[in-house]
Structure 1
Amino acid sequence: MSNEFKQNFQADEPEQRLADSMGAEPIIIPVIEEQLQIGKRVIETGAVRVTKHVIEESQTVDVPVSREEVIVEHVAVYQYVDEAPSVRYEGETMIIPVLREVLVTEKRLLLVEEVHVTKRQITDQETQEVILRKEEITVERTGPNHERPA
């Protein structure tokens, strides 16, 4: 190779020129460089549908229910007293005196009877029907990879 060729080939120009030794037209050899560009884009590949169902169930439950009962007893006493006794309590029993005037040579109070009133609490089991609700969720996926409901 000639020196002229070496000099032309080693030039720092973007296009290297090459001439042959016979004086022909110079050959232009372009220098190519590839560059990489990276980008992103959003592609929809499917969709999701969420459905909520409310389910009602009937359940039977035993519920304690309280009530009060009053027991009334008449207790005969038939005793003479000097003055009217007042209402009194013995435990949970209220005692109400019942008086009558009687004619004797003298007037006295005769305790004829006492009414005993007792209050007690009774708890019974009653069956009641209640409605309970619960929710269930159904998820359906659509698209190329999700054709069956999940």
Structure 2
Amino acid sequence: MGDTPPESSTTIELAEETISVSKRRVETGLVRVRIRTESEEIQARASLLDHDVDITRVPIGRDVTEIPAVRQEGDVTIYPVLEEVLVVEKRLVLKEEVHVRRVVTRTEVSQPVTLRRQRADIERTADDNGDPAKEQA
């Protein structure tokens, strides 16, 4: 027997458990998405206003002592046109009036335009029974 004293108790390891964690992909179903674009032809309508003037010259030929003012009679604006005439004396003669009438016409226009709308069809496939369920968005 040797120089080492005998130990009173000894432990011997018999088994040890360890854990290993990992992950994997599992396909549970499929989804198919299809985008549709729908078009619709419509008529865009609007009213357009067109302003024109109707000019009429009205001869007057009358002597005046002062310059007449521009005046309004209904929808007609009257602008006096004067001319100085040398006689023995200088006097104002109302030569003519210019009558300006506003004429408004309405034109209806129609222009074809295309409106588009997109829709998504979604189809899911069930993994357990193989019966596809269909959705529309």
Q: TM-score, normalised by structure 1?
A: 0.60
Percent of matched pairs sharing the same residue:
36
Local SS of the residue matching 1:115: strand
Whose strand fraction is larger, Structure 1's or Structure 2's? 2
> Against the structure 1 CA distance between its residues 148 and 126, is the aligned structure 2 distance closer, same or farther, given a 3 Å change threshold?
closer
**CA–CA distance in structure 2, aligned partners of residues 131 and 74 of structure 1:** 50
Q: Does 1:71 align with 2:62?
A: no
The count of residues paired between Structure 1 and Structure 2 equals 108
Gaps of 5+ in 1: 1-42
| CA 86–148 in structure 1, closer or farther in 2 if over 3 Å, else same | closer
- Tell me the residue number matched to 2:75: 92
- Residue aligned with 1:86, SS: coil
Q: Give the TM-score taking structure 2 as reference length.
A: 0.65
Gaps of 5+ in 2: 1-26
The structure carrying a bigger helix percent of its residues is 1
Q: 1:147 to 1:85 in 2, by over 3 A?
A: closer
Is 1:145 the equivalent of 2:128? no
1:1-150 map, 5 Å: 44=28, 46-143=29-126, 144-146=130-132
Q: Which has the higher contact order (CA 8 A, sep 6+)?
A: 2
- By how many angstroms is 1:148 displaced? 7.5
